[in-house]
Structure formats: structure tokens, C-alpha cells
Structure 1
């Protein structure tokens, strides 16, 4: 045999040997796998029962609750069937109960540690949330606040992706639910959502829901596309019956009524790209109605709204990217919102409103939220930018920049608030506790009316110093005051400080009510901007009207009445000290009497307050030292003296509110 032939035979033998080894290895692995599966199959019921026992122990020890399952068994290789599953806190109402549930689990995902449901068939069950005199039946299951060190930080991208992935894995690709309910009972305020049917088949979702509360009954439907494995959805929520969908529970719990024709939710993409999580899609709502006493006095209506969102999650931030857009009727803008805790805790808000027609903006304002603008007509265009940044660790570094660029902007027709009326005579009625006060004619026809030229310069200077030092230079708003107001309100977590200018006070008094609503504040801001930036009224006229309408005491309106009420003088005859006093009682004019002692003289705190304002005016050069020569103490000689408790008055009790209201010019 030749050497070549021998070599070929050896190679052939080695190849056969390797193939045989591979086949043998695969055969052994197959046997082991079959044995393992067989072992799992043989002992799986025991493992299932052991798992249920562990759940029972955990519910008992960690949540003081009883967890029971009447029947638990496997169906096939990956199916599980449970019957009569109950979770009940030991000292409260049942939290969860379901009569029958069948599900299958993706077998291969179990090897990676992920639980992914393939199908779910459940019927006859409920989740019940109860709050009564004994407490809440779900308190034990609320997340506990974890103690963290200053070095521990949450990776928002990883956390959000993990939560979303695990949640979507628990959504079956095929599902059939029947007669399941969510019940809520909050101290007798009840709402129940009955899921009559829900089917998810071939990525098509359809439900039928009946809603029952103490105040209404409705039938809802959710229908659309849902693909939990590819993290995509496009579903629509609407009412089967006529009329809007009503939001349950909130009407009784928070006195908030809300409704809408339909909502659409679209999720196009959930993707982990490097260290960032991206979530893209859109949501829209049609014919939204909202009513609450803190929002507006009537229904607020948004006909059409859409939010095309691009959420970003990073290691140390959560953001709505500026590529997102908000469409509100005809108005479209790009928001940017971010929370970042990489170093400090920083909150950012940016809004970019591209150039648009002024009339489109007016017509896009939500109905009921800007009632004084309804019917207004304008021409021209504008664009707007807002830049807000708040550092919780360094609050005084707050950034607040607001800029509006207008082009040929002009008001053609006023709405309910005709700002032009301030240029002539008109009747003013103050509102106190929702009740209109006596009518005041603001104009020469009123004998107490005081033109600006007949008001002593001391009063003008004093009031501007205390109320609005930059009145003649600003355009309705003082940015620094706004910043300080925002800082204070954020720190106190309430609207504890305002930033009102005389322009804002004028608009608020003449055109708006005293109600503390979001609507009134927004209207105030817009009306002030329109008045100050369209040269409708001169600054001098604004100040003149202001002096003639503001309250200076109980049922005392305008400086003409006030000068006689306190000092039996005309506004042109008031001394510097008298003007300082009048300027300082503007914030609380109906309580002026408490600034006097039982001898009828100003108390020390009031004297020192007036001196402080006088010294400010001296430092600023508003008055000179000669103005302070021969100044006498305040001597109230007018009708106001009857409201001051003095020793010479036999009945020293405080004058009641009825007598105060009866004082009339």
C-alpha cells in the first residue's frame, strides 16, 4: 500500500471518529435534557405547591394577609391552572379574588430568568380597594420608602426599561377575560369598573366595560392594536352610549368633574439605545371638559389636543425631548422638560412656540379658561420662548426668562374685557366675598373723583415706593419679583407670595373677580400684557384710575373719599406723613383701626414702618430732607376716628362688621 493511500485512510478514520463523538455527545445531551424535562414534569406539581406555600408565608409574614388557592395544577408542559385564588388582609376587606385562571408560560424564557406569559384565560374576579374608619385594605402593599445613602443613585434608564420589559412580558399575546371588576370604596364614595369582556387575539384588542358610581352609569369600549412582545400599541378609548365619557370617583372625592369623547394612545417604539431609553408615540383627546372651583368658574373645554412625545431616560435624568410637539386646537409648540440629579437636583422647562397668527392663538385658548378673550379679534403674528430652570439645592440661582417677539400685532376687537373703557368714565363695583359693592363712578361726574394733577405728589411717590417702584419703566411685570415669587412659592409648596404690579392690580380690580382660580390668574397675565404692550392706556391714566378705585378703608373707595374719611382734606392737601400712612394701609385697608392705640395715636410698629418707607424715599432721592421738616404725627379727624377704640369712648368694644359696611359716602 502506498504511503499516500495510508494517509487518506487515516484522515477518513479520524473524520468518522469526530462525527461519531459529536453524535454521541448530542445523544447524551438529548438524553440528559429529556431526563431533566421528565424530572421537572414528574415533580412540577410538588414544586408548584411548594411555591404556593412560599407565597402564603410571605403574605402572612410581610403583609399580614392570608393567601389561599383552592386548586393549582399544571396543564400540559407550560400551562398552569388556578381556581378560587384569594388575597385578604387579616384585619381588612378582601383585596383580590378570582374564580378561575389559566395561563401558559414561554418555556425558553424561563431559562433566562424571565417570566413571559403566552396566554391568559380568566373569569369571575375582582380587585377591591377600600378605605373606611378602620383604615385602608391595601396599605401593607404600598411601596416602602427605602433608606439610601448619599452615594446611592438610581439609574433611571435601566430602572424604566426593566419595569417596562417585565410588565410587558406579563401581558399575554393571547388573552380572554370575562367578568372582572375593579371596585373602589372611599368612605362611601364608590366606583366600580366591570370588565365584561376583554380579548386579545392576533394583536387585536377589544373590551367592553361597564362603569357604575354613586352618580352615573356608563358603558365604555377600548379597541385597537396591541403587540406586547414588540412593545407597540395603538388603542382608542370611547363611550358606547351617547355623550362624553365621565371620569369616575374624582367628582365625589375631589369635586372635579371631567369628561371626553375619546382618547387615543399610540406607542411606536420602546428602545434601549446605549445608556439611554427612548419611548416614542403620541396621545390625543377629543372634546375634553373639566370643571373644578380652583380651575375656573365654568367648564373648561379643549376641543382637540395631541401630544407627540419622545421620552428620554438616562443614567441621571428623565426628560421630554424638544422634538416632542403639543397641538392645542390651532396652537402648536415644542416643550422640553427635564429632571436631572447628576450633581444637584435640577428641574428644567423650556417652551418654544413658533411664529403663529395672533387670531389663531386667541381661537386656540381653551373655552371657559379665558372668558374675557372670547370674541376678541387681532391681526399680526408672534412667537414665544420660555426658559425656566430651578436648582433645588441652590434655589436662588433660579432662571426665568420669557420672551415674546411680535410683528404688526394689533387688537381689532375686544372681547368681554374692553380695556379701552379705562380711557373714559365708567362705573366700578368692587367684589368682596363674591358680593358686588356699591357702584362708584370713575370720572368727573363723581364729586369725589380726583384727577392725577389734583393728587399731591407725596401720595404718588409713597404709593409707588410701597406698591410698584418701577411702574413707569416696566411693561406690566417685574422679572426679578416674579423670580422671588416663584422661589417662595416652591419652597412653601403653595401660592404664598405674589408679584403684583399696579398694572396687575388694576386689571384684577376692574375686569376680574377676586376668586383664586387658575383661570383668573392666567387671564390677569394675558390682559396685563395686552394693555401694557399695545399702548392702549397711558401710564399716567392707569395710575389715575388706580388711585380712584382701590379700597382705602371699610366701604371707602378712591383717594377722594379716603382723604376726607381720615383727615377731612382734599387729596391735594395731604401731608407727607399722611401719605405714608395711606400708602401703607393699602394691603389691609379694612383693618386700619388696629394700627392705633387707645389714645388714638399710631402704634410704634406703624410709626416705624412709615419711617422706613420715608427713609427709602430719601435714599432714592424721591424726596429731600426739606420735605420732612415740620412733619406732625398722624391725627385722624374724619369719620375714620369712630372706628378707633379710644378711652374717651364709653363703649370700647370693636365696631362690628355691620356698622363698617353701613359707612357710606
Structure 2
């Protein structure tokens, strides 16, 4: 009897549920246009109150079982040009998902419309939509970010709005940035049977091109494999960036692949790859010519957890024949921690040289090497414990040897050569670096005081490191992160030497990367001894306006040969190396060093004593003051009553004598 009652109860429940569902369906179809119009009314009110914009719809209605047709859609800010205008939109909605509050588009047709982004003296017509109001709840703040679920939900919602069947025609993105105009007209986009085809006409002040996008796309299965390319000849040129930022960029094709998007437990994973062919970029801060990468590919494996975002170490970045295994992680589990690791597995040295981007390493063009190497970088920064930074960079070589140098012939350091400094892009007078120059000073004739003072000020571990100082890099990174700007570098004498002798003074990414590689080759292949490197450095660096090398400097300031420099004079010369043309600001109007300069120079002497470079006895009689007697005195802002008769110094004849014998 009980069994019969249970069956009747279950049957009754099913009948009631079916009746309720039927009523909901009937109600939906009876009032769906009313519901649609109310939804549009809410959208209008929201645009008006939150975005100060007018949203209008010509008419909107349901068509058939699940179709919706909307005509003449317009969005216009009250104080700006029309932002959006679409003539016709037809779409269908998955009704079963609609009842659960999850909107999923089945089909979409859109025709004749534009999105217009305008920036002029009146402002931006899209500015209100860039500043979303923050409505974070207490629960969100206490529960943490949960990167995995948030990212998955965001992607899921976005993909649900991508229909499985789509037909777009004559839709244009218009951009007008104070007269710099770009029009990107989507002539046609078709997605059917998981195959996508798109044709785009691009026009700007300096560009007319046609682009195509083709490939596989399955928004429900969360997979895609699309290729973006120019059907005609030549690269796709990226518009607007040249006119706006002076950045020229282009490529033959880009391929984007998404293989897997999955949420499992507390972790969200996204896998796939992206590749680019014949990529070109040109900007004054990158290099002086086009930088070209023949081929590059990034196989990515991203992992999102409740409190971390990670690029898995199984990811691979390929740059021509160079393969890099990267790992990156941002975590707030306990502290805010940033991690980055990169490894280059063992590869042939020549393959590495040949794979360097064309135009980025011009001094390496034509270089030949043998042997192989591998490389590893390990970096970790804890925001709450900044001084515990980890920075470890190491390279392992096997039979590595440079057989032929490129444009930068590092071996010339061991011979006489002509050096020409560059100041504000202008080559200065030639300096012969060798014994035929009467002002050239060999290493053994440079006083120990001066050598040690320069080392103490510029690079105390020069004779012990191999071009770079890991600890200095660590402190530089910490300082730059704390100040949120590039406030401190970690330049060594080796780096300064390479920069002066072999490279230009251009502040480009190319020059900095070349500097790092050239220093490594110079220091790790024993091309020149440390003594020879330091000797050349002291004979070419600038010590004042049009004063190059220690031989000229000793005469310019003190009218003596370098070997006769005192400790105070040597420390003074070392102190002006960073800003040699500003030396006069260290002096008062009586020709004496100002208090701050004396304090600084005495501090350098104290460091030298503490490090055992000099003895306390060496500082006897060395007060920190100096007496400038050479032509440099004319640049000091002296009172007329100065005790020294500087009119007797003939600067022009002095320089002629100084440079006599050099051609």
C-alpha cells in the first residue's frame, strides 16, 4: 500500500512540474516581447544614468521559436560623437539556458553598422565606458580573488556569446585620434560548421590593405585554430601605431591555436600555441633599423589557481632556432611573490648567432663560432621581503670559441686603434689609443692612487668578475622596483668600455642587448687581459669638455703628468667620471671644492683605507682639497680677486701643444 502511495506521489509531482514548466513556456511566449522591451528599457536607463549616453532601438521583437530581431541600434554619448550604430541584428537564443539565467547565442546575423572611437579637443566619445564603478562586496574581499573560477567564468560567458553559426556583413571599426584616422571594414565574417572565414579592408592615412582570417572555431567545445594573413603580397602592416607612436610593425601571418580550456577542481588550465612569421618592428628606442624575426612560436600552458597565476614550465618559446623553456608565476598565497625562470637547452653557438633577430644585433652579423652552450636564469621577488631577491644567471659552455668576429672586432683592444667619442650624435676628434699618441699613458705609468680611486668609485670588483656583478643586478632590481622607475643601473667598467669603444651612444634596446653579449664574449674568452682593458678605459673616457684620457686630464686640471698625481687629485678625478662636463659645479667662487665634494672625496678615501687599498699613512696631508692650475680653472666661476693669475694660461696654445704630433 505504501509502495502504491509513493508511486502516486511521484507521478503527481511530475504532473505538477510539467504543468509549471508548461505554464512558464506559455507565459514566456505570451509575454516574451514585453519582457524583451522591458530589458531594452532597462538598458536605456542604465546607459543614461551610468554612462551619460543615449541608447535607442528602432524596433525589437521575437521571431519564430527562439529568434530575436533588432533594428536601428544607436549608442551616442551626450557630449560626443555616435559610438555605435547597427542597422540589423538577428540572433537566436538557447531557451533551456535562458531559464537558468545563462544566455547562450545559437546564431547571429549582423549587417551594416559601425563602432566609432573619436578623440579630439572635446574629449573621448568612449571615455565613460572606460571607468567602471567598483561594487566589490565584503564577501569578495574576504574570500580572495580565486583567479581560477573568475577566469573560467569570464571566458565561459564570452564564449557563450559567440554563436555556432554567424554571418556578419559590412561592419566597420572607425578610429579618429585627433585627425589620425583608421577604418577597418569587416566586409564579411562567416562561421558555419566550425569553419570561420573573414575578410577585412583596412584604410588609414598611409595604408590600404586587405586582410583575411580563416580556420577552425568551435566556441562550445572551447577550441580554435585561426590564421590571420594578407592574401596579397607583402606583410600585414599594423595601422595607427606609426602615426601615433612612431612604431612601424608588420608580419606575414599570425596563427592562434586554443586546444584546451578546462576547469578541474580548484585549477583552471588553458593550452595552445601562437606563431608569427616574418615579424618586423621599427622604433627609435628599439634599433636604428628594421628588426626582423623570421619565425617565432609560443606553446603555452597557463594554469590559474585560487591564489596564483602560472605559465607552466612545459611551455616553449621558439625564436628561429633558439628554444627557451620559460616559467612564470604570480602568487599571493602567503606573500606576494613574482617568479621567473628561463632556460635555453644545449644548442650550437653558431645556431644561436644565426637566430638572433636581424637588425637587433648588427655588431654580430658575420660572426662565426664553434662549440655549444646552455643557459639558465632564476629570478624571484617577494614584495613583502624585497631584500631576499633571487637573481641567478649562469651559462655552461662546451668547446665554445669565437672563430670570426663581426663588426665589433674585440681583438682590436690589444692593438693601437683610433677612438672617436660621440657627443649628442656628433663624432668628436680622433684619439689615437696607443704609444704614438704623446698623451697616451701606459698602465704602469698610471699611479696606483688613480687606478684604485676609479675602481672604488666605479667597479670595486673589476679584477674579479667576468663582466657582470650579480649582487649589483639584485640591488639594482630592488631599487628600481621600490622607486617604480629605472633609478639605478648596474654598469661595470667592462660594460662602459664596450659601450665606448664598440657601440654608439644611442639609447636603444638593441645597443643594450649588444652591450651585454659583447661584454660576455670579451670577458669569458680572454680576448684581452683585465690590465689592458683598464688601461684602454682610462685612456679613452671623458674627463671634461673635449678632454679624453688620463694624460689629457692630468694636464687639463693640474698641469702635470699622470704619474705625479696626488691621492686627493686622483680621488677628485675619479669622482667626476660619471659627469665630467659638470665638474665646475663642485667648486665655489674661490676655486675650492665645496663642502659636499670634500665630504664625498674623503668618503672614497675612507673606503680605500677600509679595503686595504691604501694605508692611513697615505692620507697624511691629504685634506680633500685640490688646487686646479690648468686650463680647467677658466671654467670655474671665480671672483676677480682670486690669488692666482689665470690670464697667463693660454688655453688654445696649451691644447695645440697637448695634441702636437697626432694626425
TM bucket (normalised to shorter chain) is over 0.9
Measure, in 1, the Cα distance between the counterparts of 2:615 and 2:31. 100
More deviation, 35-44/138-147 = 138-147
Paired position in structure 2 for 1:473: 464
1:132-153 per-residue CA deviation (whole Å, 9 max, x = no partner) reads 1122111221243637677452
Question: How has the CA–CA distance of structure 1 residues 146 and 347 changed in structure 2, closer, same or farther, with 3 Å as cutoff?
Answer: farther
Q: Give the CA deviation at 1:640.
A: 1.1
- C-alpha contact (below 8 Å) 1:278/1:313 kept by paired residues: yes
Measure, in 2, the Cα distance between the counterparts of 1:162 and 1:31. 33
Measure, in 2, the Cα distance between the counterparts of 1:388 and 1:349. 5
- Give the alignment partner of residue 635 of structure 2, picking from 643, 646, 654: 643
1:238 equivalent to 2:226? Answer: no
Measure, in 2, the Cα distance between the counterparts of 1:39 and 1:625. 99
Measure, in 1, the Cα distance between the counterparts of 2:448 and 2:16. 106
1:33 equivalent to 2:25? Answer: no
Paired position in structure 1 for 2:205: 214
Measure, in 2, the Cα distance between the counterparts of 1:100 and 1:196. 15
Question: How has the CA–CA distance of structure 1 residues 544 and 83 changed in structure 2, closer, same or farther, with 3 Å as cutoff?
Answer: same
Paired position in structure 1 for 2:41: 53
SS at match of 2:429: coil
Measure, in 1, the Cα distance between the counterparts of 2:289 and 2:497. 24
1:509-559 per-residue CA deviation (whole Å, 9 max, x = no partner) reads 001111111111111111111100111110000010001000001000000
More deviation, 197-206/58-67 = 58-67
Measure, in 2, the Cα distance between the counterparts of 1:467 and 1:296. 28
Paired position in structure 2 for 1:343: 334
Q: Give the CA deviation at 1:19.
A: 8.2
SS at match of 1:125: strand
- Give the alignment partner of residue 124 of structure 1, picking from 112, 125, 135: 112
Paired position in structure 1 for 2:645: none
Measure, in 2, the Cα distance between the counterparts of 1:23 and 1:552. 99
More deviation, 364-373/256-265 = 364-373
Paired position in structure 2 for 1:266: 257
- C-alpha contact (below 8 Å) 1:554/1:663 kept by paired residues: no
Paired position in structure 2 for 1:89: 77
Measure, in 1, the Cα distance between the counterparts of 2:434 and 2:479. 39
Q: Give the CA deviation at 1:626.
A: 2.1
Paired position in structure 1 for 2:551: 560
Question: How has the CA–CA distance of structure 1 residues 186 and 638 changed in structure 2, closer, same or farther, with 3 Å as cutoff?
Answer: same
Measure, in 2, the Cα distance between the counterparts of 1:23 and 1:114. 30
* Number of aligned positions between the proteins: 644
Map 1:193-592 onto structure 2 (within 5 A). 193-592=184-583
> CA RMSD of the aligned region, Å?
2.1
Measure, in 2, the Cα distance between the counterparts of 1:635 and 1:31. 106
- Give the alignment partner of residue 154 of structure 2, picking from 143, 154, 163: 163
Measure, in 2, the Cα distance between the counterparts of 1:507 and 1:478. 16
Task: Provide the TM-score with structure 1 as the length reference.
Answer: 0.93
Q: Give the CA deviation at 1:187.
A: 1.6
Q: Give the CA deviation at 1:241.
A: 2.1
Measure, in 2, the Cα distance between the counterparts of 1:503 and 1:109. 66
Measure, in 2, the Cα distance between the counterparts of 1:393 and 1:250. 38
More deviation, 569-578/182-191 = 182-191
Paired position in structure 1 for 2:94: 106
Q: Give the CA deviation at 1:29.
A: 4.9
Q: Give the CA deviation at 1:492.
A: 2.8
Measure, in 2, the Cα distance between the counterparts of 1:34 and 1:401. 68
5+ long unaligned stretches in structure 2: 643-650
SS at match of 1:466: helix
1:273-329 per-residue CA deviation (whole Å, 9 max, x = no partner) reads 111001011000000000111111111110000001001010011111000001110
Measure, in 2, the Cα distance between the counterparts of 1:341 and 1:139. 32
Question: How has the CA–CA distance of structure 1 residues 145 and 534 changed in structure 2, closer, same or farther, with 3 Å as cutoff?
Answer: farther
Measure, in 2, the Cα distance between the counterparts of 1:648 and 1:35. 105
More deviation, 227-236/125-134 = 125-134
1:384-426 per-residue CA deviation (whole Å, 9 max, x = no partner) reads 1101111223222211111111111100010111100000000
Paired position in structure 2 for 1:44: 32
